[in-house]
Structure 1
Amino acid sequence: MTAKPSPKPHGAAKDRRDEAHKPRARRQGPIVPSSSVSGHTLVIVIAIMTYLAALTVGAVDLVRATAAGWEADVMRETTIQIRPAEGRDLDALAARAIVLARAARGVVDVRPYSDDETARLLEPWLGSGLSFDDLPIPRLVVLRLSDTEPFDPSALRSALEKEVPGATLDDHRRFLDRLVAMANTLVGLGLGVLALVLTATVLSVVFATRGAMAGNRDIVQVLHFVGARDGYIAGQFQRRFLRLGLKGGLAGGVAAVATFLIAEFSADQSVGTAAADQIDALFGNFQIGPTAYAGVAAIVAVIAILTALTSRATVYRTLRTFD
């Protein structure tokens, strides 16, 4: 009998056997190691820089909000001072000044300071138990201004000069100018600190990128000489350092937000103490506004993007040395 030829294998089975005999392609590893000591160190550095930058943003926002509150309070009040002199009846002059102030446009309330209130104002400088008979202390009349109706200080100042001898109108403009200058100086210092922190972050990323390229110099050189585009190599480093920047930035941002919340909670818990009274006198209600939290989120994003772009630029500069 003639042996029958064996049936040909089915097409799908043949393809599977052929695929099994093919050499498997090696899985390509990343150019930049996914984890290294330098990478962990860079994350810590970025987290610290982000934390400091976020604290700076919070401090600048607090100073700005406090200065705006002070400015609003100062703009809502003005003061009439009546200087004592021989032969002047301060009570009668103060009463006349009150009548003129109440008739002025834009004034919603007029309140004269009593002797006890004036003494409390001077107590931090002159001590307690003051005698007004021995000191030429002016009489004060405080005017509260309207938020909607404009106030004309020139008209009231002219009326006081004619009818109230020794009376002057202090609109606190000089104090307000100094306050605005101080706030602007502090904001400028905060922005300077923020710029220094970002500069330090950029320098740290530059050194870390150069270290990563030095550690993988052979791989980078081979890829470069066999024709790999510079954009491909730079993209590998950029993605790696973007992840490092996000990780460190999020850690620093979360730590800064936690610091803000702890500070607000501590301020609320210490209400009534001497330290809380001093903070309340300086900052009012110690509270970090939503703009500060938005600033922290922006700082995290900026540092992550800055880290990625800095590493990419550093790789391009380094690859030029291979040519």
Structure 2
Amino acid sequence: MSSSSLLPKDDARDAALFFVVCALCFLGALAALSARAAYSAANDWTNDVTGQITIRVEGSPKHLERALQITQSFDGIASARALTKDDAEELLSPWLGKNGVPDGLPLPQMIAAEALPNVTGIGIKLEKLFSEEHITATVDDHVVWSADVRRATRSARTVALFAVALLAATAIAVIAFATHADLLARKEIVNVLHLCGARDSFIAGIFERRFLGLGLQAGTIGAVLALGAAAFLLYMAKQSDGQVWLLPQLSLSMIDGVILGFTPIIAGISAMMAARITVIRSLAELV
């Protein structure tokens, strides 16, 4: 007796299971892609600003010149320069557009500095030096908030990985339940095979092949849908020219391809293992 006669392919019960596994694979792959994209974007953001220090100086141009001299001579500073009007226009272009800064608009006196690697606490030390020179200046050390971004990213990644694990466990539980129900529906056939001397591995293999194929097919469709959803979100983000500066420059990378490629494999193996464990345990009760 072939496995197809025991488990016909047109079983209506498999349709609902197929849909559930497909949806879970879609959500799991999309969650994994989102976690990877968020982590990559946060790394890009923090790498861009790590070591960057911005100083806003109040007062006359002489105060700016003196503050620049102090900053350039500081031991932990690799380079420093005063921002020009063109630099200010570039920074303000997201808000003011490409027409530039209107005439008469007062611009802050800014210094852009870059710290040496692994040097911390520069902001407090510079502010103390400025105070001694009677210079009113605000030092924004990006290292402080970039560390907060890293902590938030690690937390978001942990939550995303937990969501992926929860979705995978849910899929395995659903498959195990469906396998058990499928086994009960064919209990008489399984009993006959068992009494005729069919080994448990043979009977379990019938269910393994069925649910392996179901998991692979559902996982593939779920991965393709996740790819389509991610591509659509990237397309919509790139269409928003006015706000694209707010968003990280995300793209589908090789790592995303690996995630999508492993989705049907994980789904198929999970389905096969869940089917085997369920069938073996159920057959053990017949002994």
TM-score, normalization: structure 2? 0.81
Q: 1:262 aligns with which of 232, 254, 267?
A: 232
The answer to whether structure 1 residue 77 and structure 2 residue 64 are counterparts is no
CA–CA separation in structure 1 for the residues paired with 2:259 and 2:218: 16
- For 1:168 and 1:55, the matched residues in 2 are separated by 42
Q: 2:184 aligns with which of 214, 224, 231?
A: 214
> Does the 8 A contact of 1:49 with 1:198 survive in 2?
yes
Q: Is the 8 A contact 1:253 1:296 kept in 2?
A: yes
* Cα distance in 2 between the residues matched to 1:152 and 1:201: 48
Once residues 30 and 117 of structure 2 are traced to their aligned partners in structure 1, the CA distance between those partners, rounded to angstroms, is: 39
Paired residue for 2:263? Answer: 299
2: CA distance, partners of 1:120 / 1:271: 18
Query: 1:191 deviation in Å?
Result: 1.4
- Structure 1 segment 5-154 matched on structure 2, within 5 A: 28-30=2-4, 31-82=6-57, 89-104=59-74, 107-112=78-83, 117=88, 140-144=110-114, 150=117, 152=119
2:272 alignment partner in structure 1: 308
Unaligned runs of 5+ in 2: 97-103
8 Å contact from structure 1 (residues 161, 168) kept in 2 = no
Distance in 2 (CA, whole Å) between partners of 1:72 and 1:170 is 16
Task: Pick the aligned partner of 1:280 from 245, 262, 265.
Answer: 245
Residue 167 (structure 1) shift: 4.5
Unaligned runs of 5+ in 1: 1-26, 125-129
Equivalenced residue count is 274
Deviation at 1:173, TM superposition (A): 2.8
How many angstroms apart in 2 are the aligned matches of 1:151 and 1:49? 43
How many angstroms does 1:183 deviate by? 1.4
Shift of 1:78: 0.8
Shift of 1:103: 3.9
1:305 is displaced (CA, Å) by 0.6
**1:71-107 residue CA offsets vs partner (Å, 9 max, x unmatched):** 012204112344x5xxxx5532321121233345653
| Matched-pair contact (CA < 8 Å) for 1:106–1:150 | no
Equivalent position amino acid for 1:319 in 2: L
Question: 2:141 maps to which residue?
Answer: 171
Output the amino acid matched with 1:197: L
Q: Is the 8 A contact 1:67 1:179 kept in 2?
A: yes
Q: What is the distance in 2 between the residues matched to 1:187 and 1:305?
A: 25
Highest Rg: 1 or 2? 1
Query: How many percent identity over aligned positions?
Result: 22
**Structure 2 letter corresponding to 1:254:** V
Q: Do the aligned partners of 1:267 and 1:286 also contact (CA within 8 Å) in 2? A: no
Give the distance between the partners of 2:2 and 2:169, measured in 1 at CA: 35
Per the normalisation by structure 1, the TM-score is 0.73
